[in-house]
Structure 1
């Protein structure tokens, strides 16, 4: 015996401009029938919260699935999966598409090459799916907006719940040392790695290269210092790892879109009182 609840949606063109749109959501449990073989034209995240089963990929291999786990179903790729014999499993699924898929894939939140992804805990992803399901009530005038927001939330929750997403020691060390005036090669040497190895590790953990990872941390701190203190721009630059204030100002302007002094002036209009 099994139990199934599902809803499907057809978002309009304006909703697609939100970046992601939800095409369907479902909650199922029990001895569910196998799915496929089939091929879809959109992404589906299938969260297995309890139980076990299998997933057969397009190369003919069969992968065991043990909860908590995620099945990534990607457009144009055949898939075939099902719960194991006996009591079956507990699954929740969300179908989605949109232009933001490319960015989430580049950032490592969507992994088309990993059809089965172990999770540390399905609680966060299941809560995100439940919010999408609640928004899916018939007659909800905000259905497409709420379910779109829910897909964004689900992708973040899945990334956090991924079994290999525990605190990454390399990322932690880079964050700790972000304000030291070190090159990528020097950071790599401190970890006994080559620059290429460091780039691979950071991209795997953060979805970007070490330069962008460090720059995001540095500029975030620089903004805090500019908004909350009276420190000169040169002093702010030194505190976040740049000995050349002119270079820091050019970098800040290029990435933020405004010069440090202008950023400070805008923040000071309604910001809190500053202290050194």
Structure 2
């Protein structure tokens, strides 16, 4: 015996320009019939919150699926899967597509090469699927936008729920964030963790979807924007505070990454804040020691 509930949607061309659109949502429980072999044109995230089953790869290999788990179905890839008939499983699925799938794949949120992903906890993704199911009511004027936005949220929830990621964040990323505005290079950070630069790059990309250099620059420039918006520190002083001894280089990097020069950013975003908020943030009497731009290599 099994129970099935599902709804399918047909977003218009304008909704596809949102980046991701939801094409369907479903909830199934019990000894659900096996699916496939088949090939799809879109993506499906199948979240198994209880029970167990199997997934068969295109080359015939059988992989066990034990809840909580995620099964990725990706376009053009044959798949065949189902629950064990003796146990069944509790399944929620979301079908989606859109141009942003390429970016989410590049960042590691969608993993075509890893169709079965163990989860630490399925409650977060299942909450998002339940919201999509509630949005699927007849006559909902926000249906396409509401469900499309929820797909973005679902991809984040699935990434956060992965069993191979610590629920409170990765200690390597915490250390990089803590020391981002110092003079440490990527090689320095790697040595601190007993890694080679290549190992650090692989670890950061697996968790954050970017290189250590880009991760450090993002934190530095985020802090620089805060200082420009909330203090009267000179651009040179802000540059030193976030790890750049050369203010000209800092200004070029800031302009390229933020889209506005530091002076223009300050003119647009400056805010009056309480005096005690800025305590300890004003320019030092003596400039600090030179610090190096993080390099992505040994």
TM bracket, shorter-chain basis: over 0.9
TM-score by length of 2: 0.89
- Contact kept in structure 2, 1:26 and 1:133, CA below 8 Å: yes
Is residue 114 of structure 1 aligned with residue 114 of structure 2? yes
CA-CA distance at 1:273 after TM superposition: 4.9
Among candidates 195, 213, 216, match of residue 214 of structure 1: 216
Is residue 30 of structure 1 aligned with residue 59 of structure 2? no
SS in 1 for 2:104: helix
Q: Which residue of 2 aligns with 1:97?
A: 97
SS in 2 for 1:55: strand
184-193 or 138-147, which moves further after superposition? 184-193
CA-CA distance at 1:261 after TM superposition: 1.4
Is residue 5 of structure 1 aligned with residue 5 of structure 2? yes
195-204 or 112-121, which moves further after superposition? 195-204
Cα deviation per residue 1:35-55 (whole Å; 9 max; x = unaligned)? 111110110000001111111
Distance 1:192 1:211 in 2: 18
Cα deviation per residue 1:59-103 (whole Å; 9 max; x = unaligned)? 211111111100000000111111112241000000000000011
Q: Which residue of 2 aligns with 1:195?
A: 197
Distance 1:63 1:176 in 2: 40
Distance 2:216 2:187 in 1: 13
Structure 1 unpaired stretches of 5+: none
Cα deviation per residue 1:163-191 (whole Å; 9 max; x = unaligned)? 11212222121111111112222222222
SS in 2 for 1:211: helix
Structure 2 unpaired stretches of 5+: 283-298
CA-CA distance at 1:205 after TM superposition: 1.0
- Contact kept in structure 2, 1:54 and 1:65, CA below 8 Å: yes
CA-CA distance at 1:200 after TM superposition: 1.1
CA-CA distance at 1:267 after TM superposition: 1.1
TM-score by length of 1: 0.96
Cα deviation per residue 1:102-145 (whole Å; 9 max; x = unaligned)? 11111111111111000010010000101111111111111111
Q: How many residues align?
A: 275
CA, structure 1 residues 246+273, in 2 after alignment: closer, same or farther (shift >3 Å)? farther
Q: Which residue of 2 aligns with 1:73?
A: 73
